[in-house]
Amino acid sequence: MDKVIDAQNIKYAYPTIEGTEPKLALRGVTLTVEQGQFIAVLGHNGSGKSTFAKHINVLLRAQEGTLTVVGLDTADETNVWDIRSHAGMVFQNPDNQLVSTVVEEDVAFGPENLGVPQEQLRDRVTEALRAVGMEGFEKRAPHMLSGGQKQRIAIAGVLAMHPDIIVFDEPTAMLDPQGRAEVMDTIRYLNKEEGKTIVLITHYMEEASEADRVFIMTDGVVTDEGTPREVFSHKEKLEQAGLLPPLATQVYYDLKEKGLELGLCPVTLKELVDELCRLA
């Protein structure tokens, strides 16, 4: 399969005030993502996960190492707009990424910037709003919508640019449980039905458990990677990263300690319930 994101040992330090020692936010990240994959990057605050996310659509540029996105080298200045049109990004705060006072105009903003011919714009907006389940909200004002709805409008705005990859930088961190569920449903749909490659930056274990592959970041490096089941079973590595396994996995370990071993290490609540039922 094609590697759509290929990061090799990338390093980045934020600019600092003169005289102070620059601290590396990324200390050599190596990570590859294949076409159509859903990956999650987990990490504690300050682990560099958001900094890495900003590299994927060249909001930041690696100071060392190489990063290619859809085969384009991010170090090449001329590729910037091309890469951004292939790799969209959804940010944490829905309020700070909507540009327009009308939903449909906001969704059209991205494709307008790409210079999509006027007669196709309307279709792109309709199609994107349908994909996120927000059809019928075309004329509404974003500030009258709920957090989850606003975030889905932001996703539609990215989707209307027809990207191959969508990077989500903690998209649910500011939402209530219902909004969180809406956004996760949308992400799942985009991956399964529309075949988008998804990079989900998060610190919620439950969200990461839905991914095909999980990467754990600690202090600017990837310390563990694998399927959710593999990663969540590496208890010590998770602890080092300052993370706790999801509830289902936690229960599995607690039961094991008490002498009851389930057949399979569960990562979601549903799996846990299934395993427990099998015991009876």
Partner 1 sequence: MLKNITLGQYFPGDTVVHRLDPRIKILVALLFLVAVFVVRTMWGFLALALLFTLIIALAKIGPVTILRSIRPLLFIIIFTFVLNILFYSGQTIYWQWGFLTISKEGIEKAVFIAIRLVLLIVATSLLTLTTSPMQLTDGMESLLSPLKKIKFPVHEMAMMMSIAMRFIPTLVEETDRIMKAQTARGAEFDSGNLLKKAKNMIPLLVPLFVGAFKRADELALAMESRCYHGDEGRTRMKVLHLKRMDVWALILMLAVSILFMVFL
| Number of amino acids touching partner 1 (CB under 8 A) | 41
- Residue range at the interface with partner 1 (CB under 8 A); choices 11-19, 98-106, 228-236, 253-261: 98-106
Place of tokens 């919508």: 145
- What track of x and - describes contact with partner 1 for positions 7 through 46 (by CB under 8 A)? ----------------------------------------
* Residue 67 CB, nearest approach to partner 1 (Å): 16
> What is the footprint of partner 1 within residues 135-174 (CB under 8 A)?
141-144, 157-158, 161
Nearest to partner 1 of 121, 247 (CB atom): 121
* Residue 268 CB, nearest approach to partner 1 (Å): 31
DSSP for the chain, please give it. Answer: --EEEEEEEEEEE----TTSPPPEEEEEEEEEEETT-EEEEEE-TTSSHHHHHHHHTTSS--SEEEEEETTEETT-GGGHHHHHHHEEEE-S-GGGT---SSHHHHHHHHHHHHT--HHHHHHHHHHHHHHTT-TT-TTS-GGGS-HHHHHHHHHHHHHTT--SEEEEESTTTTS-HHHHHHHHHHHHHHHHTS--EEEEEES-HHHHTTSSEEEEEETTEEEEEE-HHHHHH-HHHHHHTT----HHHHHHHHHHHTT---SS---SHHHHHHHHHHH-
* Residue 111 CB, nearest approach to partner 1 (Å): 8
Q: Does 99 bind partner 1 (CB under 8 A)?
A: yes
- What track of x and - describes contact with partner 1 for positions 54 through 83 (by CB under 8 A)? x--x-x---------------------x--
Q: Does 50 bind partner 1 (CB under 8 A)?
A: no
From candidates 13, 24, 121, 173, binder to partner 1 by CB under 8 A: 121
Q: Does 179 bind partner 1 (CB under 8 A)?
A: no
**Which residues contact partner 1 (rule: CB under 8 A)?**
54, 57, 59, 81, 84-85, 88-89, 91, 93, 95-102, 104-105, 108-118, 121-122, 125, 141-144, 157-158, 161
